[in-house]
Amino acid sequence: MDLDRPLGGIHVPLITPFDADGTVAAAALEGLAHSALDGGAAGLVALGTTAEAATLDAEERGTVTAIVGRVCRERGAWLTVGAGSNDTRRSGAELRALAGTEAAAALVPVPYFTRPSEAGVVAHVEALAADSPVPLIIYNIPYRTGQTLGIEALLRLAAIPGVVGVKHAVGGIDQDTVALLGAELPGFAVLAGDDVFAPALLALGAAGAVLASAHLLTERWVELARTGDRALGHRLAALAAAVFAEPNPTVIKAVLHAHGRIPGPGVRLPLLPAGGPSLETALRAWDAAGDTRVRTHALIGEAS
């Protein structure tokens, strides 16, 4: 899908809901996709970490991509598909498979576990971008990859033809983050990727954000990106902290199930379902963030 508008706004990396028998709950996934776009999201991400993509087989990955792609096509929204690994050749094959799909971009991680040099990361991305049928968004998340990128490497990545942005999730706001957000980078968008720090990055000039917690209160996240409301940002940061109290997406799934939006809260091993206290805390944080539709105490009782 070719979109004539720049990358930005709130993008929701969708979970993969499962039915009671463990199969992909296609209708629930489609409903979540429409709900996020109804809330004002600029785009959706399929097959990200939040989707438990590592646990999906090839057929399931195709199903998820097709469902989310169809919704994005109908709604004129960005579809970003997670692709890539720490093997440049395999990553290239995954990207080539996106040709002819609804994907507007691919979310490609910095190579993990291998921990190449910064020059190696740049060479990896250059090779992928040269052959990819869709633009690339780099996923910079050092606590998952084991590789920290300094500002010079980030600027080199931003200058690669075919690279249109970065999901920046470095676990805080450091000097390199401030420098990146202050740089003049035409055609390149910095998207906040740490949910708790997203309000601060938006205030510093991020073009948007890719946020798992935006499954909840999507419209409030969109409002924050538009207005910069400080009090709202604090409430949404608290909500984000609550839904990341256990490994993602376990708490988000528990909350969505409590609201009847997915068939169950199940995740695939090695993840385990979120505990009751985490669910209660997240439901209260949702309430505090300002969604008047939430009946927190009733939902806690129904979920217990």
Mean per-residue pLDDT for 215-244? 97
Average pLDDT for the chain: 94
Q: How far is CA 229 from the centre of its chain?
A: 22
Burial of 125 (0-12, 13-18, 19+ CB in 10 A): buried
What does the radius of gyration of the chain's CA atoms come to, in whole angstroms?
18
Domains of the chain: 9-233 (3.20.20.70)
- Whether the pLDDT of residue 304 is over 80: the answer is no
Report helix angle 276-288 to 230-243, nearest 10. Answer: 170
Tokens at 81, concatenated:
């598909």
**pLDDT tens per residue, range 171-229:** 999 999 999 999 999 999 999 999 999 999 999 999 999 999 999 999 999 999 999 99
**pLDDT tens per residue, range 100-125:** 999 999 999 999 999 999 999 999 99
Active site residues per annotation: 139, 167
pLDDT at 245: 98
**Reported pTM:** 0.93
- Whether the pLDDT of residue 53 is over 80: the answer is yes
More confident residue, 85 or 291: 85
Burial of 84 (0-12, 13-18, 19+ CB in 10 A): buried
Opening angle at CA 71, ends 69 and 72, nearest 5: 65
Query: Please, are residues 13 and 32 in contact by the beta-carbon 8 Å criterion?
Result: no
**What DSSP line would sit under 6-18, residue for residue?**
-S-EEEEE----B
Q: How far is CA 21 from the centre of its chain?
A: 26
pLDDT at 300: 46
- Does the CA dihedral 249-250-255-256 come out positive or negative? positive
Query: Please, are residues 277 and 284 in contact by the beta-carbon 8 Å criterion?
Result: no
pLDDT at 5: 78
Mean per-residue pLDDT for 14-21? 98
Query: Please, are residues 92 and 125 in contact by the beta-carbon 8 Å criterion?
Result: no
pLDDT at 183: 97
